[in-house]
Amino acid sequence: MIGQTSILVIYTGGTIGMVQDPKTLTLRPLTFDILYKYLPVLENFNCKIDFYTFDPLLDSSNMNPSFYIHLASVIEEKYEDYDGFVVLHGSDTMAYTASALSFMLENLNKPVVFTGSQLPIGMVRTDGRENFINSIEIATAKEFDTPVVPEVAICFENKLYRGNRTSKFNAEHFGAFVSGNYPILAEVGVHIKYHNHLILKPNFKKLRALKVLDENIAILKLFPGISPNSVAAVLNTKDLKAVILETFGSGNAPTVPWFLGQLQEAVARGIIVFNVTQCKGGSVEMGKYETSAGLSKIGVIGGYDITTESAVTKLMYLLGCGYSVDSVKQLLQTSLRGEMTV
């Protein structure tokens, strides 16, 4: 059919693409030549659906920057051939991959919808069927011949989230994700209700896939009683360029001299320290309390309401671009892909 919408489904691995062997009862990867056996309703979609399968398939716990680069390269290579992309991915680190892709795919003007499931698609009560079908429909949605959702998103349990605003917070319920600081982009009921004012707008520029990521970062999660040796071990990591400091509440941390002294010494060595709250909702407000004012004075950068997942991948992306330390600090406090509220 001339003008028929076309979607590329990219299967990277994860629970959604597993079926149970009737003899051994073990899970094995689904081959897409039998996908229509489990999802015959796909025949009713007025669109062309093609498949790309990673080899080898990866559990999401094994995803890393090399995988992000591979995935971005596939989308870049196939970008002009398809109207949208659906990425089947394990849920455990989906928020990291979706965040990474949001930064790496500059000038994205087509949907890249991540989805997965808590139960394999071959099981009777699987959530995978609904998540998959919803994702296909969202990826094909257009208004005035323009994609409705031209950004990286996650579709799970009848909700569509901005990818770089999400965190996985539940390993048992079908509603596995939360977006504590940004409303959902769409909700699926009898109809799909899009919240257009919340969705990024297309700029109609040519896609650029930025495929250099710098992994020389670390996360320092604070807890009551953290020791000087623990902090020093992180801050003195070989080749370290940046640290995500997971603080309490609205960006608070101990005011003891040894702690601030170690951070100040790291900042003086050119290490970027990025203050991100441990809370799933709320924002870092540097200086609101005495316990965060000290961090601001020594050069720690406030992360507003960015998630840890997005902070990790944004730092990898910015450092990979080769920006100066001062430029990285400035861009960390700038919303590049709707990842934070400044």
pTM for this prediction: 0.92
Q: How many domains does the chain have?
A: 2
The string of pLDDT tens digits covering residues 200-257 is 999 999 999 999 999 999 999 999 999 999 999 999 999 999 999 999 998 999 999 9
Least Cα distance to 99 among 337, 276, 342 occurs for: 337
Geometric angle at alpha carbon 96, from 140 and 313, rounded to 5°:
110
Q: What is the pLDDT of residue 1?
A: 40
160 vs 283, higher pLDDT: 160
How many angstroms separate the CA atoms of 69 and 286, rounded? 34
Q: What is the pLDDT of residue 209?
A: 97
Helix (H) or strand (E) holding 244: strand 242-247
- % of the chain beyond a pLDDT of 90: 67
Enter the tokens of residue 84.
């949208």
Q: Which two tokens stand for residue 281?
A: 């909702």
135 neighbors 45 (Cβ within 8 angstroms): no
The CA R_g of the chain, rounded to the nearest whole Å, is: 21
How does 207-244 read in b/e, with b if 16+ C-beta sit within 10 Å?
Answer: eebeeebbeebbebebeeeeeeeebeebbeeeebbbbb
Please say if 15 is a catalytic residue.
yes
Is 321 among the domain residues?
Answer: yes
pLDDT band at 35 (very low <50, low <70, confident <90, very high): low
Of the three residues 209, 242, 267, the one that is the final residue of a domain is 209
99: which strand partners?
none
Indicate the SS3 state at residue 240.
coil
Q: Which DSSP symbol is given to 248?
A: B
Choosing from 186, 209, 232, the residue where a domain stops is 209
- The tens digit of pLDDT for each residue in 56-73 reads 888 888 999 999 999 999
Q: What is the pLDDT of residues 258-302, one digit of tens each?
A: 999 999 999 999 999 999 999 988 888 876 766 667 898 999 999
Residue 2 pLDDT: 45
Show the domain range for 70.
Answer: 5-209
Question: What's the rounded Cα separation, in Å, for the pair 331 and 336?
Answer: 8
CATH code where residue 71 lies: 3.40.50.1170
- Point out the domain boundary residue: 143, 176, 209: 209
Domain assignment present for residue 83? The answer is yes
194 and 229 share one domain: no
Residue 45 lies inside a defined structural domain of this protein: yes
What per-residue confidence (pLDDT) applies to 102? 98
Res 173: pLDDT: 67
Residues 227 and 110 reside in one and the same domain: no
Q: What confidence score (pLDDT) does residue 3 get? A: 59
Does 163 lie in the same domain as 22?
yes
* Structure confidence by residue, pLDDT tens digits, 173-188: 666 788 999 999 999 9
Of the chain, the percentage scoring pLDDT greater than 70 comes to 91
Instruction: Give residue 13's pLDDT.
Output: 85
Q: How far apart are CA 282 and CA 294, in angstroms?
A: 20
Considering the domain boundaries, does residue 299 fall inside one? yes
The reply to whether 171 and 221 lie within a common domain is: no
Residues 103 and 131 in one domain: yes
Do 248 and 205 fall into the same domain?
Answer: no
In a domain, 342, yes or no: no
Element (H, E) at 50: strand 47-53
Residues 54, 162, single domain; the answer is: yes
In a shared domain, residues 199 and 78: yes
**Whether residue 193 sits in one domain with residue 46:** yes
Backbone angles phi, psi at 312, to 5 degrees: -60, -50
pLDDT band at 91 (very low <50, low <70, confident <90, very high): confident
Candidate from 149-158, 277-286, 331-340 with smallest mean pLDDT: 277-286
Domain membership flag for residue 11: yes
- Which of 306, 280, 284, 311 has the alpha carbon at shortest distance from 296? 284
Task: Specify the residue for token string 């605003």.
Answer: 165
Res. 125: pLDDT tops 90: no
The answer to whether residue 341 sits within a structural domain is no
Report the alpha-carbon distance of residue 102 to residue 253 in Å, rounded. 30
pLDDT of residue 4: 79
Mean pLDDT of the chain: 90
- What pLDDT, on the 0 to 100 scale, is given for residue 129? 84
- Here the CATH number for the domain that contains residue 327 is 3.40.50.40
Residue carrying the six token digits 């709707």: 338
Task: State whether 21 and 66 are in the same domain.
Answer: yes
| 105 shares a domain with 79 | yes
- Does one domain contain both 234 and 265? yes
With respect to residue 27, please indicate whether it lies within any of the assigned structural domains.
yes
Other Cβ atoms closer than 10 A to 175: 13
Of 12, 15, 140, 313, which is the active-site residue? 15
